[in-house]
Amino acid sequence: MGRELYQLRPEAEQVFNLVGMVTGVDMVALCFDADEETLRQTQNAQLALFTVSVAAFRCFKKHIADLRIDAVAGHSVGEYAALVANGILDLGQAATLVQQRGQFMAEAGEAVPGTMAAVLGMERNALEAVLHPIEGVVVVANDNCPGQLVISGEVTAVHAAIDRAKEAGAKRVIPLNVSGAFHSPLMTGAAEELYPALDGARWQGRPNDIGPLYSNVTAEAVGREQDLPGLLKEQLFKPVRWTETIQNMRRDGITTFVECGVGDVLSGMIRRIDKEATCYRVNDLESLEQTVAALRP
């Protein structure tokens, strides 16, 4: 969770410290010392992932300051880190929004219990056909890459969908240890609560050396002129269209991706979406140095 970058790179330390000051959360203790159960709680996980992602990006950007970044994208809460990366949101403002987002989503999960499951080895159209006749709320929440989808909704409906997806030929269906039905209609209340803060945020113009954000909701490039508060509100109860996002970035000429944050899950998804894409990562000092060396002209 960014420990090495925090210890060895002042730009990463500054991110941890500023997020902690704005939110009142000890980010060092949360990211480095918290037990798994504490870190898994959505209000904690979202803030930790956001902080580490921005810290890794700031380290990367410092070393490639003369190179243009053509676009940014983030998966779910990662979209807030992407907005910080391209300058549309400042770090403190985004940290406050992420904290509120996590709190409202956690509260929604307690008020209306829901769950999620990963479905492997099915195409989206086939899975949606399986879900359609099921009573209750269950939807495709994440279209991560070919053969990897996530469903979300009411507990009984998701359990029914798990059984039917297996019968319909899914290779594996894995229940997820989550505290709510994220990216489903069960998060509508959380979205409504978050919207006033989104609408009141200070949205800025991005710098010339960083391109636009590709939105989870539309899978297309969006700019300051679009309704970003509205899109981020919708993001809570609509699916993350990651497959389409990467396909559209490739369509628009982007061939090289750098994953900043924790692990390399997104890089794996990108390679499954497009085998021709080149992926690097920045999550510790070694990967930072390797990525910078590879991208230097």
Whole-angstrom distance, CA of residue 40 vs CA of residue 127: 27
On the CB side of 188, how many CA atoms lie within 13 Å of its CA? 4
Q: Where does the chain have alpha helices with state H?
A: 3-8, 10-23, 27-33, 36-40, 42-63, 78-85, 91-111, 124-131, 155-167, 188-199, 228-235, 242-251, 265-273, 285-295
Collapsing DSSP to helix, strand or coil, 143 comes out as strand
Provide the residue type at 201 as one letter: A
As annotated, the active-site residues are: 76, 183
Strands 172-176 and 114-120, how do they pair?
antiparallel
Residue 207, number of CB atoms within 10 A of its CB: 10
Q: Shortest CA distance to 186 belongs to which of 230, 217, 129, 141? A: 141
Whole-angstrom distance, CA of residue 170 vs CA of residue 140: 14
